[in-house]
Chain A
Amino acid sequence: QSVLTQTPSASGTPGQRVTISCSGSTSNIGRNFVSWYQYLPGTAPQLLISRNSHRPSGIPDRFSASTSGTSASLAISGLRSEDEAEYYCAAWDDSLSGPVFGGGTKLTVL
């Protein structure tokens, strides 16, 4: 069972906006940066969002994120078929001195 809680699945049609949520605690999201990763089976996870809301170079501005208290959310606007993937939130956990992950959200583009 993952330390951070994510809804297992989400879906949307091309062009729509979808939001994925992530819930943690004061030892992780509550006091450390949240990052988000896109995962396609057979490939390496890719950093989508850093420091709660910053997009690394090359990540489209269709991806945005925010945090509030012990929760975080990732929004994908203008949904495309290539966005169909698993999305994971992560945050450093002070009690572990390491990162903790959410259980992943499988996004389906209908």
Chain B
Amino acid sequence: QVTLKESGPVLVKPTETLTLTCTVSGFSLSDSRVGVTWIRRPPGKALEWLAHILSSDAKSYSTSLKSRLTISKDTSRSQVVLTLTDMDPVDTGTYYCARVRMGFRDMDVWGPGTTVAVAS
């Protein structure tokens, strides 16, 4: 069974760096057929793609957040880590990681999400 689970802080202060971890099971991060992507949903707003990482370690980022985002993976620990620097209250929302089937370019399994609030 394929599962993903996000973990990280519930509350961060403005200007701090957010670090989120996605722990996967049921598939390998070295499988070339899949990748892992991060998506967020601010309260009352639409889903927004953040970053993506492939088995080859190729990475891609949202154009608007590229300067603040870093994605990495630890294949041996089955974890994908996302960092977002200089947090602002507008970054408040639910953050999801999802598995991407590269052949279909779809996100077939999602984690339950982790909610992050940015406040002083």
Contact = CB atoms under 8 A, between A and B. Distances in A.
A23 interface: no
Interface stretch (B8-16, B22-30, B47-55, B83-91): B47-55
B32 interface: no
A103 B61 CA distance: 19
B105 A32 contact: yes
Tell me whether chain A's interface is mostly helix, strand or loop, or mixed.
Answer: strand
Contact of B37 (A2, A35, A99): A99
Interface in B58-114: 60-63, 96, 98, 100-101, 104-113
Contacts of B100: 99
A43 B100 CA distance: 18
Interface residues of A, number: 27
A100 interface: yes
Contact of B60 (A32, A50, A88, A98): A98
B46 A99 contact: no
A92 B102 CA distance: 10
A83 B39 CA distance: 23
24 contacts: A33-B104, A33-B106, A35-B107, A37-B107, A39-B47, A43-B113, A44-B96, A44-B110, A45-B39, A45-B107, A45-B110, A46-B110, A47-B107, A50-B104, A92-B105, A98-B51, A98-B52, A98-B61, A99-B52, A99-B100, A99-B107, A101-B39, A101-B48, A104-B46
Interface of B: 37, 39, 41, 46-49, 51-52, 60-63, 96, 98, 100-101, 104-113
Interface of A: 2, 32-33, 35, 37, 39, 43-47, 50-51, 56, 88, 90-92, 96-104
